[in-house]
Amino acid sequence: MAVSVSFPLPQADQAAVAGIDLQFAQRPAAAQELDLVDPAAVLALQLDLHDLTGVLTFEAVEDRPQRQDLARLEGLTRPVVVVILAAPVTSGGGAGTQGEQQSCAGDGGTAAAARQSSIRFHGKLDPCSGVVLESPFYPAADERRMNGGFTFRSLRRRHSTPHPDTAEETRMNRKNAVSALAATLVLSLPTAATAATHAELLAGLATAAKAANPSFVGFSVERGRILQQQSFAGGKPETPACTSCHGSNPRAAGRTPSGKSIDPLAVSVSPARYTDPAKVEKWFRRNCIEVLGRECSALEKGDWLSYVIGQ
């Protein structure tokens, strides 16, 4: 399994989004996978630290900084990449984008440089599963989480020669951490498959819209935008518009009446959205009934999807 990931990075300073907390949905499964994953395979992973668009995506899914970040990832059925991070290497160990071997070979410059170029990955496993990973070799006290969990700061060692006593421990810890990284190595970026699914979804809706109205010529992003922002009287009084829960900015997270965060609607920030047709239909049905007081037509669904997919 050689995985290569690269994210276009719009601004280097976005790299501040450095912490990712992960929780595994299928805890027993995750625990097992930790043993199955060959860490060596994962080290083939290349992080192009100059390209980090993905980071923005993850930031947008954060429920709250430092706590429920990425909690939503659990719900995803598709693979999601949780790699990322770090600032472009500026000095010293210019090998920040490489795997462990090269990084470990040199001392990577000063501690500060190492920190700057470190790949930070935070993971938490639920205590129920009995798997709590710690990484004492990188005692990043400032980043430790209160409730167990481990901090995986870097694929490289901070010092070239670890204390002999801790060498084995370190190896194990790295193995664990890297395995965890691999276990969650999953793709949520707009891949070819996603795009195809969006196109398929729209094609299906277009067929239905054409059947309902032979003069149908195509979906309209503008109509979709209006639908998204419009207020309706037919649904529940608490939710007159899509924006009641999703908020007025499709690229920002929304909030359910009971306070749960909703991933942004826009595909640019929630790339995993609208990739499961059954889920799309389920939520169209529920939400249209709540907001409009009826199910939406194929035309409305297509317009709306065209709008959010392009956002």
Partner 1 sequence: MNAPVRALAIGLLALAFSALVLGRAQAGGGHYFPPVADPLVREECGSCHLAFAPSMLPARSWARLLADLQNHFGDDARVDAATAARIGDYLAANAADTGGRRHGAKLLRGVPATSSPLRISELPKWIREHREVRDAEWQRREIGSRANCAACHRDAERGYYDD
Instruction: Note the residues at the interface with partner 1 (CB under 8 A).
Output: 23, 25-27, 67-68, 71, 74-75, 126, 128, 147, 236, 256-260, 286, 289-290
In this structure, what token pair is assigned to residue 230?
Answer: 């419009």
Cα gap 310→202, rounded to integer Å? 12
Return the SS3 of 247.
Answer: coil
**Rounded CA separation 85/20 (Å):** 9
16 DSSP 8-state letter: G
Nearer to partner 1, 158 or 255 (CB): 255
We find the least distance from the C-beta atom of residue 25 to partner 1, in angstroms, to be: 5
Of the pair 72, 157, the CB lying nearest partner 1 is at: 72
Residue number with CB closer to partner 1 (290 or 300): 290
The distance of closest approach from Cβ of residue 72 to partner 1 in the complex, given in angstroms and rounded to an integer, is 10
Give the distance, in angstroms, between the CA of residue 1 and the centroid of all CA atoms in the same chain.
Answer: 20
Question: Alpha carbon 226 to chain centroid distance?
Answer: 28
The least distance separating partner 1 from the CB of residue 289, rounded to whole angstroms, comes to: 6
Shortest CB 60 distance to partner 1, Å: 17
94 — phi, psi (to 5°)? -65, 15
Nearest to 279 by CA among 80, 78, 26, 82: 78
Q: What b/e readout covers 193-203, taking b as 16+ CB neighbours within 10 angstroms?
A: ebeebbeebbe
> Can you say whether the dihedral through the CA atoms of 28, 30, 34, 38 is positive or negative?
positive
Phi, psi of 277 (to 5 degrees): -55, -40
CB of 290 to partner 1, least distance (A): 7
Q: C-beta of 109: minimal distance to partner 1 in Å? A: 38
Return d(Cα 154, Cα 156) in angstroms, integer: 5
- Of 128 and 141, CB closest to partner 1: 128
Q: Which conformational region is residue 289 in: left (phi greater than 0), alpha (psi within -120 to 50 degrees), or beta?
A: alpha
Q: Which of 286, 283, 284, 282 is nearest to 301 (CA)?
A: 284
Tokens representing 209? 């819209």
Q: Given the complex with partner 1, which of 2 and 233 has the nearer CB atom?
A: 233
Instruction: Please say which residue, 164 or 259, places its beta carbon nearer to partner 1.
Output: 259
Beta bridge partners of 151: 122
CB closer to partner 1, 4 vs 147: 147
- Nearest-approach distance from CB 257 to partner 1, in angstroms: 6
The least CB distance from residue 210 to partner 1, in Å, is: 28
